[in-house]
Structure 1
């Protein structure tokens, strides 16, 4: 299952738009653009996205992308560890 990264259209600043476009070109990631993700306080303060339903923030666009990639890798590792237990 591919990770789902969701972006609020109200927070699509030029740097966040670049991140969204990069991730849309990644065949390992599903990207969704929503009119509102219901996290208005966070949305007003910092760039953010939802990765499989969890909030990921960054200081700026490049930091957000780094944190999204990190979150995806951590989730992938957790899933692999879980499957190893089976």
Structure 2
């Protein structure tokens, strides 16, 4: 069982496609995209995703990926 990461397609298209190319995230999380997550103001300003329902915000796609990796590792430690 993997943690769930939810993303807005519009936010990913803007500058976050590297989320899909990150091998660690692909192996250790289930990534679901939605056409819109009704966070338009946030989407226009920042990179973001939901990790197990928790909003994760970052200034860059690289920062978002690093934050998600930390969250995944913490989730795995808690679940094992």
Interval containing the TM-score (normalised by the shorter chain): 0.7 to 0.9
Segments of 5+ residues of structure 2 without an aligned counterpart are none
Segments of 5+ residues of structure 1 without an aligned counterpart are 81-86
Normalised by the length of structure 1, the TM-score is 0.75
Structure with greater strand share of residues: 2
Tell me how large the CA RMSD over aligned residues is: 2.2
Return the index of the structure with the highest Cα Rg. Answer: 1
**Alignment match, 2:51:** 51
1:70–1:25 CA distance, 2 compared to 1 (3 A): closer
SS in 1 for 2:28: coil
Q: Which has the higher contact order (CA 8 A, sep 6+)?
A: 2
